[in-house]
Amino acid sequence: MSSLQRSAALQGHFRKFIDGSHILHLHQVVDAYGHLSFRHPFRPDTFVMSFNIAPAQVSSPEDLIAYRVEDAEPVQEKALPGFAERRIHSEIYKRHPEVNAVVHSHSEAVVPYTISGVPLRDVSHMCGFLGPDGLPVFDAADHMQRDDHPDLLVRTEAMGAALARHFDDGNNVTLMRGHGFTVVADRIELAVMRAVYTQKNAGIQTTALMLQGVTGTAGGGVKGLSKEECAGSDQTTRWSMMRPWNLWGNDDLSIQLLEPGTPLHPGSVIRGRIVRKREIAAPLATVCVRLLGRAKAKLAVSDGDNGMIYYRSRFNFWSGSAIVDVVHEGPIDVAPGDGNSQSWPFTLALPTHTDAGLVNASEEDNASEACFLRPPGAAEAAAGVPAQPLPGTFHYDHPGSSKQWQGFVEYWIQAELVEHGKSKVVLAVMGVQVDARGRFTSAARHRLSCSTTIYPTVLPTFTTYCVKIAHALYWEVQISVAGEVWRGQGNQEILLLPPCEDASGSAAFPPPFYEEPPAGDESSESAMVFEGGFGLMATVASSD
């Protein structure tokens, strides 16, 4: 194979990796956490992952890092920060040379089968790869060493090797107690398909068990596939795996940014193009692209009787139809064959503030009590929620025995192609990272803090996060449920952007810088984050 052919083949793997990451996000197999990897096609002692961003945000080969299988360290010395759990991948590649792709997921549909004693087994003809006998469960507690951090993450070589041994029997999926699951395959497409259908199988099995419980027919258990049926189904899905991949993949529609490495801030202008590569002959079709942003949160509180009470919220920063660019309306004709495509340029502008009118009008499940941007100290029955500066992309997951809190802020571009007269909508999704802006006065530099309350009468809601700057940089979250206060805090890297008078486009913003904490001043002066009308962003140093 010539060097040109090798380069083209490697670029093909990069494209599959990016598509696979987006497919996993599209099916909610991964969100802010979870990851995909592949073994380098020409260097089997090397594997490739993205740096520690959400899979939906992977957009170019520049986001990828090559690691050594031997020690999970980057091949290049000055690599971007990587995932703490990359030893899941390195140890599997080390022990199983037949494996060329790995998916790690925290799927909420699958986790119950890691903690309940109920085996997850193949109950659908699409999931023969799961096998008839139930999947093995890896328990991190069984392999903890004295210095290991007890958070169930696979951070060490020893822990990764223990997980890799769970694939010795030829199984394709291993569950991970209280954590998620890991899938292996000999190619990216098959690993992605198996991850998607593992989650689907869990949903089907859970529904069947619930039906049995309701109807009183649970005694016999669910009827799964036999050993022969599993083998036959697995063979069929291997043969047809490109059908779902082509349905989910980006040949139907893809999003390409003109400047994928440019930092985005409130007010930035995003430019790119929508591309259709697959054959199509549509007399009349519409192609549009929209920008979306939201915050979601889940609070789980122990009820004191081995159960949990869940509070959830969702807040869209603006209406789904507010930021839309209709890039084409008319015929679309893409001939069959490689190299044929049609593309349309687009321009989208990030707003500088959230849409307070949407919140106060109680549209799209966004009543004022569900707004995580409630100003600190606002009365419970406040007449309205003011517009707030757009928050930066943010992910947080705090595990605990009696309280667990998860929350994130995310932004994404969604492209849609609709053929007139047909109900099918072809979608493409790409996550984007948005950094918030910080503006600090001299009086507010030493200590910034804020807090909010989850009022029992208006649950569910989303709580704000707060950031303090003192001798060490750290963030703090404080909530109150039925009078009980819970506070979470931790060390983080705080990304601040300097003030800017012109917010009309990304070019107007200077590059971000990292603010050093002030030294030697114990000033007790404080300023509430929302009172000054500025936002700030806490970037997670390692998100797995």
d(C-alpha 302, C-alpha 405), whole Å:
12
Q: Give φ, ψ of 369 to 5 degrees.
A: -75, -10
3-state secondary structure of 241: coil
d(C-alpha 255, C-alpha 249), whole Å:
12
What is the per-residue pLDDT across 447-492, written as a single tens digit (0 to 9) for each?
333 333 322 222 222 223 222 222 223 334 445 555 565 555 444 3
What is the per-residue pLDDT across 348-375, written as a single tens digit (0 to 9) for each?
999 988 887 775 664 444 443 443 444 4
| Contact between 450 and 375 (Cβ < 8 Å) | no
Catalytic positions, written as ranges? 85
**pTM exceeds 0.85 for this model:** no
Largest CA distance in the chain: 73
What is the CATH class of 254-539? mainly beta
Tokens of 181: 């699951």
d(C-alpha 112, C-alpha 180), whole Å:
9
What are the domain boundaries of the chain? Answer: 3-248, 254-539
d(C-alpha 500, C-alpha 502), whole Å:
6
CATH architecture for the domain at 3-248: 3-Layer(aba) Sandwich (3.40)
Tokens of 224: 């799964």
d(C-alpha 12, C-alpha 175), whole Å:
30
Burial class of residue 450 in the structure, from the number of CB atoms within 10 Å of its CB (0-12 exposed, 13-18 middle, 19+ buried): buried
pLDDT in tens, the chain (544 residues): 556 567 767 878 888 898 899 899 989 999 989 999 999 999 999 999 999 988 988 877 888 999 999 999 999 887 888 999 999 999 999 999 999 999 999 999 999 999 999 999 999 999 999 998 889 999 999 998 888 888 899 999 999 999 999 999 999 999 999 999 999 999 999 999 999 999 999 999 999 998 888 887 766 678 889 889 988 888 888 877 777 876 676 567 888 888 877 778 888 999 999 999 888 899 999 999 999 887 766 666 666 666 666 655 567 788 888 999 999 999 999 998 777 889 999 999 999 888 877 756 644 444 434 434 444 444 444 445 556 677 777 665 555 666 666 666 778 898 999 999 887 777 787 878 887 654 333 333 333 333 333 222 222 222 232 222 222 233 344 455 555 655 554 443 333 222 233 333 332 332 332 223 223 332 222 222 221 222 222 222 222 3
34 φψ region: left (φ > 0), alpha (ψ -120 to 50), beta (else): left
